[in-house]
Amino acid sequence: MVVGCSVRRHGRERCASYGPFVTVITQHAERPVELEGCVNFRDVGGLPLANGASVRTRRLFRSNALIGATAGDRRRLQELGVATVIDLRSDHEVAWSDDPVAPGATRHHLPLGDLLGRGDDWERWRDPQYVAGLYFDLCQSGGASITEVFAVLTDPSAYPVVVQCSLGKDRTGVVVALLLRAIGVPIGHIVEEYARSRFAAFRMVDALRAQLDDEHRRALGPYLPALLAADPITMLHFLGRIDDEYGSITGYLRHLDVVSAIPFLGAALLEHHAAMR
């Protein structure tokens, strides 16, 4: 449970329950979790664009690894009609399970590194600029996987789709942010959507701690900055770095040679509302 929130600043709150690296967007705090066993599963739909359009609901979902899904969750995924699972986990992570979980769904394994499995100075994850740099490095080293994600999602039959990685916040956060930016979602909404993973991270860590004995709980401590990192400033820095290095999201997608995917993504993911009278 997340407790001890105080010090409101620029629409955010600083929370003390896991230390000073906990910064959250408060307006999403009460949104329900849609799957029992996958606490970072959520619908990305509903985000508005400046032109009055919005991201369609029940088309693009994001999640931590679906291997935690309960039997009820599997039925729910089937009811949602999930057709595709984009799995960003590494080969090592997939060795634990390559079950797409969603009945009838096609799984595309498109590894995008393993930020938490590589060894690191975990304290540096308290610094949003450092984490943003890791995200940008993923865009550099994982260009082939990102290209394939965009290619898969040009197919209308690929939807609804779930994008997943182990925690559902870093690699999934990068790919979802790129997709949303490509179809014109304003940066502010992308940042808020990304920051929602902080609440799920609390729950994942709490669940993990409950399964460990005292010795292993203490050993978990150094990793908390990385496990809980989903600071909105990180996403701002990351998207800013894309713009600085490539001029715009279009410039990055041109670098990957996937600019032609943008109208297909828009057709699949956006709904346009009649002008209000």
**pLDDT value of position 80:** 94
User: Do 153 and 265 contact (CB within 8 A), yes or no?
Assistant: yes
The sign one gets for the Cα dihedral 253, 256, 260, 265 is: negative
**pLDDT value of position 121:** 83
**pLDDT value of position 118:** 65
Residues 6+ apart with CB under 8 A from 218: none
Q: Which residues lie across from 8 on neighbouring strands?
A: 13
Structural domain spans, the chain: 34-271
**pLDDT value of position 119:** 66
**pLDDT value of position 151:** 98
**pLDDT value of position 275:** 54
Residues 6+ apart with CB under 8 A from 277: none
**pLDDT value of position 7:** 25
pLDDT in tens, 153-174: 999 999 999 999 999 999 999 9
**pLDDT value of position 114:** 86
Tell me the pLDDT of the chain (277 aa) as tens digits.
Answer: 222 222 223 333 333 333 433 343 334 433 444 799 999 999 999 999 999 999 999 999 999 999 989 999 999 999 999 999 999 999 988 987 777 788 889 999 999 988 876 667 899 999 999 999 999 999 999 999 999 999 999 999 999 999 999 999 999 999 999 999 999 999 999 999 999 999 999 988 998 888 888 888 888 888 999 999 999 999 999 999 999 999 999 999 999 999 999 999 999 999 987 654 3
**pLDDT value of position 99:** 75
For 34-271, CATH number?
Answer: 3.90.190.10
Neighbours of 123 (CB within 10 A): 13
What is the reported pTM?
0.86
**pLDDT value of position 274:** 65
Q: In what order do the strands lie in the sheet with 12-15?
A: 5-9, 12-15, 23-25
Segment (H or E) for 87: strand 84-87
CA 94-98-104 angle, to 5 degrees, is 150
Q: In what order do the strands lie in the sheet with 42-43?
A: 42-43, 60-63, 161-164, 84-87, 106-109
Q: Distance between CA atoms of 117 and 112, rounded to whole angstroms?
A: 12
pLDDT in tens, 67-105: 989 999 999 999 999 999 999 999 988 987 777 788 889
